[in-house]
Amino acid sequence: MWKILQEPCIPQIVTLYFTRLFVHLLFQAYFSTLHTPEEVDEFWKTCQKEHGFAASPNRFALETLKSLLCRMQCEGVVMAMERKCGWDMLLSADTQHYAVGLLVRVMRSSSIPLSSGIALYLLRLLSMATSLASCSHSCLRRCPCPVFLSGPSPVLGCLDVTKYGASLLEIISTNLQSECRERRHLALRCLMVLGPMNPAMAKKMWNLTENLVDVLQENDSFMVRMTIVVLRYLFLYNGAPIRSPVALRLAEALLPLFDSDDSQVQLGSITVFEEMIDLLRKEERKALKTQVWQRLLPLFIHCHDENPRVAEASQQALLRVAEFLKRRNLMQLVNTAELWQFAECLPFKS
């Protein structure tokens, strides 16, 4: 491929299959950086002797990828990556996901049709992955696919959920559970794009609720803000009842966020808690009763928050909790804004 791209006139088929060549060259660089099997390493040493290749397999794949981009008149992409040391970062396992994200952003600003074609081809690969050998499937699950879907793209608006949804969500789930912050961040960005653009996809995302609860417990306000936004999309587009075990974990994760120093996290967590109550099954409400009792005092305190939006949201949530607990006296005090009497009515136990 590298030799073909050095010719003055490249075959038309190279242009026709650009997206496939781009993806496979990027995968070659990505996976050979993570691990090069011994037999491949021996093969490459032979190639170096016979053809005078000085580069390692991953670096040579990137050189070929850069040649491909130049032949597609995307020199600006190559130059932008050079200026930001993006190519070098692709050769390090610790910075690969960040570098791929940078490459996608540069590609998108250069050509939306090309970046959309790459995203669509990746989705096709993911769809086929379920029928591949377990090793191939495992490799694709670790690939930085969500990066290509983490920004506006015409492909996402017309995503065939039946065909690609399950495979894509499996990749996102794997990234949400990753120890790498960048991978979790990219998975959340992908969900933030997919949910609003495709309500049918938002319904399929419901199975990721437990993974999102885990992210809520991170000591990272930026990640928590994104997770809260995704949860609100799920509640809005899905409306399915929440199982009590998940609801319990979600309630526990939300309570510390009521006192967050980040006003957006504070406001979002209170709103999500209120919305969660509406999605509880009647038969499962008893299991949450104690958890809901414990939210009365924090919500009452935040009704007097200096941020008017937090105060208003707290008052609305307090009313919803009083309704949930069927305490008419508390509901009346909230409705009449006589909150000064509210504390006297707060029970210390259920």
212, containing H or E segment: helix 209-216
Task: Give me the residue label for tokens 């136990």.
Answer: 349
Do residues 261 and 267 lie in contact, with contact meaning Cβ atoms separated by under 8 Å? Answer: no
Question: Range with the lowest mean pLDDT among 18-22, 53-57, 155-159, 186-190?
Answer: 155-159
- pLDDT per position as a tens digit, 112-171: 778 778 877 877 776 665 444 444 445 555 555 556 655 545 455 555 666 777 777 777
For the four alpha carbons of 6, 7, 13 and 15, in that order, the dihedral sign comes to positive
DSSP assignment, residue 280? B
pTM of the model: 0.72
Do residues 96 and 33 lie in contact, with contact meaning Cβ atoms separated by under 8 Å? Answer: yes
- pLDDT per position as a tens digit, 259-276: 888 989 999 999 998 888
> What is residue 75's predicted lDDT score, i.e. its pLDDT?
92
Task: Give me the residue label for tokens 């994200």.
Answer: 101
DSSP assignment, residue 39? H
* 225: confidence class by pLDDT, cuts 50, 70, 90: very high
* 345: confidence class by pLDDT, cuts 50, 70, 90: low
For residues 296-306, average pLDDT: 81
Residue 343 is encoded by which pair of tokens?
Answer: 């504390």
339, containing H or E segment: none
Do residues 68 and 18 lie in contact, with contact meaning Cβ atoms separated by under 8 Å? Answer: yes
> What is residue 285's predicted lDDT score, i.e. its pLDDT?
72
Please report, for residues 94, 108, 123, 195, 219, the alpha-carbon distance to residue 230 in angstroms, rounded to integers and kept in the order given.
Answer: 27, 23, 21, 8, 18
Is it the case that residue 83 has pLDDT exceeding 90? yes
Which residue would you say has higher pLDDT here, 157 or 99?
99
Query: 242 pairs with which residues across the strands?
Result: 280
CA angle 193–195–197, rounded 5-degree value: 70
Do residues 124 and 78 lie in contact, with contact meaning Cβ atoms separated by under 8 Å? Answer: no
CA angle 211–140–190, rounded 5-degree value: 45
Is it the case that residue 210 has pLDDT exceeding 60? yes
Beta-carbon contacts of residue 204 (< 8 Å; ≥ 6 apart): 161, 165, 166, 169
